[in-house]
């Protein structure tokens, strides 16, 4: 864990004109809700973009009420709302639509994840917004995309994890498919969407292009990461089945229990690594055993191989196992929970966690910005702000609305 202020000063030399990150000067309007759109905004905000988070005046982002809470403060919101400026705005009203147009007219990018057709009903579709701001890059992130027979369906990450093929592959062969315990499809879609925005901005700024809209979904990004499954089905007429913690491509690869009731993961996807595993478990003779001499044979005899490795694990603690494997440069890792991560010396040395002062939580511990930049590092200035915390700054200073206008918008429930 590290102190955010000290880290920022160390990384930048504490210069007066330091940038917050490589996206300093970029203005983004985030009109999305929940995890996927919020993660896109978080990535951009972490590296210096001014991200203006537009929320409904009464409810705010549903993420504020989602998941674990501390005295009514949503921890998902604190994490994904970090570095953003929160403004309230009812976009469904005519007055709100005018304000939204003003915001987007000043922006480089817009992130939205309304159901297809929603913004068009409010006269805020891409065709209209691009007339106001031809340089606008508009990210449209939905469950199933803007086109196709499922486009009108409500979409959540769980549905994408189910329909992408991921859940079918995840779990044990004799049990039902397993969904991930967190927003995996949302996070993957957010990564694809973030670099899509940056691709579009590069085309606009470096190649003399214009703004454009980007159609992304939750289902296609995670589908693209399940490997050559379509190719395998087409060429070999094979549908890969669930294999638990084993791999259908290499062996040994599994989770093993140590004598102290803990667990480790081993992956030996290259022949030299598998040979080192045999040395590490004090069974060098297995290198010449015809059952295990190459990857194909090891896969054919994986039950016997796993039993041999587990028998050795039964006599050693996790610490002993890891020390032994490191001695022989055989790949291994402990199975960690979040408490283990916080205590791990490598995470600490890398400042992977950072404590941020917060007016509601006191001090909040979150994952640090990543990746790391040598010259323009990211920085966390604050966790998710309270609803509408930046109304005065954004509407009064950024858009130059006078006080009378702000009073009228408040009294009408627009902000």
Residues with catalytic roles:
186
CA–CA dist 398, 221 (Å, integer): 35
CA dist 375 and 379 (Å) reads: 12
List phi, psi (to 5°) of 319.
-60, -45
Give 27's contacts (C-beta < 8 A, 6+ positions apart).
Answer: 49, 50, 52, 106, 107, 108, 109
Distance CA 265, CA 282 (A): 18
Count of alpha carbons within 13 angstroms of residue 240, beta-carbon side: 22
Residue in 109, 106, 108 with CA at minimum distance from that of residue 32: 109
Contacts of 143 (CB under 8 A, 6+ apart): 150, 153, 154, 155, 156, 159, 160, 217, 218, 219
Contact call for residues 48 and 26 (beta carbons, < 8 A): yes
Tell me which H or E stretch contains 357.
strand 353-358
CA atoms within 13 A on the CB side of 376: 12
Closest CA to 36 of 139, 122, 121: 139
Closest CA to 83 of 404, 340, 369, 287: 369
Question: For residue 213, what are the CA distances in angstroms to 139, 153, 175?
Answer: 6, 21, 42
């Amino acid at each position: 864990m590290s102190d955010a202020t000290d880290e920022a000063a160390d990384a930048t030399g504490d210069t007066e004109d330091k940038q917050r990150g490589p996206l300093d000067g970029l203005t983004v309007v985030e009109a999305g809700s929940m995890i996927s759109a919020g993660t896109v905004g978080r990535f951009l905000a972490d590296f210096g973009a001014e991200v203006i988070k537009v929320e409904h005046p009464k409810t705010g982002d549903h993420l504020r009420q989602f998941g674990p809470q501390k005295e009514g403060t949503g921890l998902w919101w604190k994490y994904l709302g970090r570095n953003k400026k929160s403004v309230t705005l009812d976009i469904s009203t005519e007055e709100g639509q005018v304000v939204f147009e003003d915001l987007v007219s000043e922006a480089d990018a817009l992130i939205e994840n309304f159901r297809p057709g929603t913004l068009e009903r409010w006269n805020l579709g891409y065709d209209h917004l691009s007339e106001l701001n031809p340089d606008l890059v508009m990210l449209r992130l939905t469950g199933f995309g803007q086109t196709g027979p499922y486009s009108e369906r409500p979409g959540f990450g769980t549905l994408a994890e189910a329909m992408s093929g991921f859940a079918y592959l995840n779990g044990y062969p004799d049990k039902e498919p397993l969904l991930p315990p967190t927003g995996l499809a949302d996070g993957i879609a957010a990564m694809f969407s973030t670099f899509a925005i940056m691709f579009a901005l590069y085309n606009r700024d470096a190649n003399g292009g214009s703004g454009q809209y980007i159609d992304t979904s939750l289902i296609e990004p995670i589908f693209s990461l399940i490997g050559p499954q379509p190719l395998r089905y087409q060429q070999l007429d094979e549908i890969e089945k669930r294999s638990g913690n084993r791999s259908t491509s290499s062996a040994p690869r599994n989770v093993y229990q140590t004598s102290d009731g803990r667990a480790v993961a081993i992956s030996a996807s290259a022949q030299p690594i598998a040979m080192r595993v045999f040395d590490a478990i004090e069974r060098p003779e297995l290198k010449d055993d015809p059952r295990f001499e190459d990857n194909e044979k090891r896969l054919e005899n994986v039950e016997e191989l796993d039993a041999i490795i587990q028998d050795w694990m039964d006599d050693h603690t996790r610490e002993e196992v890891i020390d032994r494997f490191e001695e022989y440069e055989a790949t291994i890792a402990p199975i960690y929970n979040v408490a283990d991560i916080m205590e791990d010396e490598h995470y600490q040395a890398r400042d992977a966690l950072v404590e941020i002062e917060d007016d509601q939580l006191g001090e909040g511990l979150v994952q640090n910005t990543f990746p790391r930049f040598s010259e323009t590092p990211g920085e966390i200035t604050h966790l998710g702000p309270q609803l509408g915390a930046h109304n005065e700054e954004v509407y009064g200073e950024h858009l130059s609305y006078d006080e009378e206008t702000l009073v009228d918008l408040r009294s009408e429930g627009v902000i």
